Structure 1
Amino acid sequence: MNITECIQNDYLEWKIGDVISISAGTGSGKSYFVQNVLAEYAKSQGEFILYLVPRLQLKKQIEKDLEKEGIKNIDVRTYQSYESIDEQFDMEYVQKVYKYVVCDEAHYFFSDAVFNSTTDISFERFMNNENAITLLLSATSAILLSYIKKFLSHRKLIDYNYGYDFNHVKKIEAYQKHEVLIESMNWLLEKNHKTIIFIQSAKKAYELYEKYKEHSVFVCGKESSYYKHVNEEIVDEIIKARKFNSLFLITTAVLDVGVNIEDADLHKVIIDMSDIDTVIQCLGRKRLVGDNDYVHLLIRNHTNQSIGGYIVEEKARFEEGQVFYKEGREALATKNYRKGFSDIIYVNKQGMIDVNKMKYVKASINYKWYLKCLDNFGGYLSEIKKALKYEDKIEIRDLLNIKEERENILKSYVGKELIGKESQKELLQQLGFKKNRQLVQSMSGLSKILEQEKYVYKVNSFRAYRIVDGVKIQCRIYVIETL
């Protein structure tokens, strides 16, 4: 997918006030189109481009690229630099100087709203600026486009939507417990496999870095108390070289957008995040080097219990927004009297409670998506498979470890005759299989599970005479056999 070839000369027809959405996977050439094609055309017309990004690391990377190419009519800024709540903030300069405003990684407005309460300020300032042609670049733009169509329908929207391709993801495995993550990293260390590890919590990311400090680089956001442990010189070098020299790059979501790693020796990616858009963005940090490049992904499986916790949090935000928009702020104030509000509520300049639209929309999308995870038999991993268009089964390493233990138990019972309830009960308790959260208590139930989960063992049974407690009786005998 080459964006420049797809758009061709359409950009010559774009008009002031148009909103241009370019939705395509990472590595499809969205930034290349702006920096090489659009910038050259703007230069010929004496026009300037404002290029907005969500991370300082990405800003530095793009500025280095522009300097290298000698492109001087693009100014790179962060969204955050336009999010001051100061009443004196003036957009006149932007409106007068820039014909094009490029919002790179435009999903930022919603994805970062989870922890940044001011993304709505930059969004409204730039989407209300009808004196420019506004470009929205993203690999995950569904929420953004839905919002524009619903709330900004007066803007002319030109949508170039090419989707994304994950054919290079050759294998996906999952883990649930932190101990299994550690086991996996120990294996990667032993085998000398270069890996990017994305961790949701800065605290956990740093703790992981401490454990593998000799072999790792640590990256987190400047707002984090753990930023003092970040080596800025090494991070700058990674941005410049687009690769890292250590075995592990352990990072938070600060690296989930825009910063590209182009390394033929990098094939392993670990992602701890829960949000599907963030998962896709993290996966996109590894840029393909050649047609034969590939990725093996290890992703955290968020269990139904964890998903239930996320649902409770998002539901509270979603329902507050629903009351606010359907019944008004007085109804919301009455219903939440002495209870307090979630983080989607803030006090506006008029001293009245208001809703952060970005947080509300993101909460509503997340709430519905997490509900889908619970409704689906395969849970979270089924939705991940669907999003990444992955056909094979995702094995959970925790369960693989348990399966290995169970196979060792079954192996020790091969050929032994299990007569009577006590001997059968002992085996069933050792194996610990459960169905509907209840321990499997029959050999027939065990037989079905071994077949369903493709064990290399089976349960055989027959009736025969045996001496039990000194008495010869006919009884049902069970035997574990190999397939």
Structure 2
Amino acid sequence: MKRYINNNKRKITIDYSLPINFDYIEKLSFYYGNDSLNKVIENTLKKHEKIILFIESAKAAYDLYLQYKKYALFNCSKSNKNYYKYVYTDKIKDMLKNEKFDETVLITTTCMDAGVNIKDTKVKTVVCDVRDVGVLIQCIGRKRLQPNDGKIHLYVKGLNNQYLGGMKSQLKLNIKKADFLMSHNVKEYIAKFPRQSDYNNIVYADTVDEDDKSTHKINELMYLKCRLDIHDIDKMLAFGDYGYCRYLADKFGFHEDGIFEYDVLEEFTKKDNLSNYLDSVVGIPYFQVKDRVGLINNIHSKANRKLLKRLSNLNGALEELRLPFRIIEFSTTSIINGKKKRFRKAWRVEKLII
């Protein structure tokens, strides 16, 4: 907004700002699938704590509410006519007034992204399935830090780099359409882009006279925001793998000296399964290349979409995962098909003493 006023309206702003403090986020995690999300909710129920879930889609929020209806309170805006009828308005009013809710689970759309405070130390977990980073920050800010420990474990729905690339392409198309309208008339615009939806509403229809005739106009503020969003996506992609996760970890203060302090639930499950597997094969000799297939597939380390099979690569993957196992190469002899045979480059898994 400041950039828009300064650049487009040629006005000088007087700026007052308070630094955003994310100290109330004690731990940061990301998830990708509904199974992982369900585990987060179920874990909260087991611990008798409270959880707030901000879900961008009203349909997805309501579907999730149906799964946990016994424990949950549902909220969305009046504009979501298909789902607002399921909102217990009296309970929502009480929540806004008392700044806490009685249920264990609060499932809400982003209608609660500003102007609402939740002051409840029992709320230990906040989940955000929200794509816009600015809105996401507003959502997690609804949980207010309390003197007697109001810190949270934040879970964010992850976006992979392929999805980010798709978002960028759509934003560039919407900007392209607006640029076309700037240099052409409405008739030419409609001929060029017939019936194409614009989620960001950069180009919108506006009534111009009493006969309800309309024309197309450009939302200048949204036009600028889309350009800034593209800039942010480029920053995310520059982080490489897990670019979205690393971008948010950096923004929330979970990045120092090149080390990102967050976890991905699906990766955590994979890591736990791999650890159990490696534990079960410690000391077993792998004499030949064909014997190592199961080990290589379970570690499943890739580069350029190719499965890595070299000893150094596999040990590098185990080190990166911080697993206390290493693959050792050694010489040994064994009886194969009744014949004594020497193997100069056999493998075995050893567990490190920590």
Q: Same fold (TM over 0.5)?
A: yes
Which one of 135, 140, 147 corresponds to residue 4 of structure 2? 147
Counterpart position of 1:365: 228
Which one of 232, 237, 254 corresponds to residue 390 of structure 1? 254
Matched position secondary structure for 1:158: coil
Counterpart position of 1:99: none
Q: Given the alignment of the two structures, is residue 206 of structure 1 paired with residue 72 of structure 2, yes or no?
A: no
TM-fit CA distance, 1:254: 0.5
Counterpart position of 1:141: none
Counterpart position of 2:33: 177
Q: Is the 8 A contact 2:121 2:150 kept in 1?
A: yes
Counterpart position of 2:211: none
Counterpart position of 2:219: 356
Cα deviation, 1:369-405, whole Å, max 9, x if unaligned, reads 1222122124001111222223351111110001111
Following superposition of structure 1 onto structure 2, how do residues 297-312 of structure 1 map, counting pairs within 5 Å? Answer: 297-312=154-169
Hey, what's the Cα distance between the residues in 1 that align with 2:37 and 2:285? 39
Counterpart position of 1:276: 133
Q: Is the 8 A contact 1:272 1:300 kept in 2?
A: yes
Distance 1:164 1:332, change over 3 A: farther
Counterpart position of 2:77: 221
Counterpart position of 1:320: 177
Q: Is the 8 A contact 2:32 2:158 kept in 1?
A: yes
Distance 1:332 1:297, change over 3 A: farther
Cα deviation, 1:326-371, whole Å, max 9, x if unaligned, reads x344797288254746342223445443212233222222222122
Hey, what's the Cα distance between the residues in 1 that align with 2:86 and 2:166? 31
TM-fit CA distance, 1:197: 0.7
Which one of 108, 126, 142 corresponds to residue 251 of structure 1? 108
Under a length normalisation based on structure 1, what TM-score does the superposition of the two structures give?
Answer: 0.66
Distance 1:335 1:380, change over 3 A: farther
Q: Is the 8 A contact 1:324 1:331 kept in 2?
A: no
Q: Given the alignment of the two structures, is residue 469 of structure 1 paired with residue 326 of structure 2, yes or no?
A: no
Distance 1:328 1:194, change over 3 A: same
TM-fit CA distance, 1:267: 2.4
Distance 1:330 1:243, change over 3 A: closer
Counterpart position of 2:203: 345
TM-fit CA distance, 1:148: 0.8
Counterpart position of 1:455: 323
- Structure 2: stretches of 5+ with no match in the other structure: 209-213
Q: How many residues align?
A: 338
Cα deviation, 1:274-299, whole Å, max 9, x if unaligned, reads 21101110111011221643222111
| Aligned-pair Cα RMSD in Å | 2.1
Of 329-338 and 436-445, deviating more is 329-338
Distance 1:183 1:158, change over 3 A: same
Matched position secondary structure for 1:280: helix
Hey, what's the Cα distance between the residues in 1 that align with 2:217 and 2:5? 20
Matched position secondary structure for 1:197: strand
Q: Is the 8 A contact 2:121 2:149 kept in 1?
A: no
Counterpart position of 1:264: 121
Q: Which amino acid aligns with 1:480?
A: V
Q: Is the 8 A contact 2:121 2:148 kept in 1?
A: no
Q: Which amino acid aligns with 2:33?
A: K
Q: Is the 8 A contact 1:200 1:273 kept in 2?
A: yes
Q: Given the alignment of the two structures, is residue 479 of structure 1 paired with residue 348 of structure 2, yes or no?
A: yes
Which one of 374, 381, 397 corresponds to residue 237 of structure 2? 374
Hey, what's the Cα distance between the residues in 1 that align with 2:139 and 2:196? 34
Matched position secondary structure for 1:203: helix
Q: Is the 8 A contact 1:459 1:480 kept in 2?
A: yes
Hey, what's the Cα distance between the residues in 1 that align with 2:148 and 2:88? 33
Cα deviation, 1:53-85, whole Å, max 9, x if unaligned, reads xxxxxxxxxxxxxxxxxxxxxxxxxxxxxxxxx
Counterpart position of 1:242: 99
Hey, what's the Cα distance between the residues in 2 that align with 1:274 and 1:293? 25
Hey, what's the Cα distance between the residues in 1 that align with 2:179 and 2:43? 48
Query: What's the % identity of the aligned pairs?
Result: 27
Question: Where has structure 1 moved over 6 Å in runs of 4 or more?
Answer: none
Hey, what's the Cα distance between the residues in 1 that align with 2:52 and 2:186? 48
Matched position secondary structure for 2:122: coil
Q: Which amino acid aligns with 1:289?
A: Q
TM-fit CA distance, 1:472: 2.9
Q: Which amino acid aligns with 2:332?
A: A
Hey, what's the Cα distance between the residues in 1 that align with 2:142 and 2:224? 26
Matched position secondary structure for 1:244: coil
Distance 1:322 1:469, change over 3 A: farther
Q: Which amino acid aligns with 1:219?
A: N
Distance 1:248 1:338, change over 3 A: closer
Hey, what's the Cα distance between the residues in 1 that align with 2:29 and 2:145? 20
Q: Which amino acid aligns with 1:375?
A: A
Distance 1:291 1:183, change over 3 A: closer
Cα deviation, 1:32-58, whole Å, max 9, x if unaligned, reads xxxxxxxxxxxxxxxxxxxxxxxxxxx
Q: Which amino acid aligns with 1:482?
A: K
Of 240-249 and 433-442, deviating more is 433-442
Counterpart position of 1:26: none
Q: Which amino acid aligns with 1:373?
A: M
Hey, what's the Cα distance between the residues in 2 that align with 1:176 and 1:337? 34
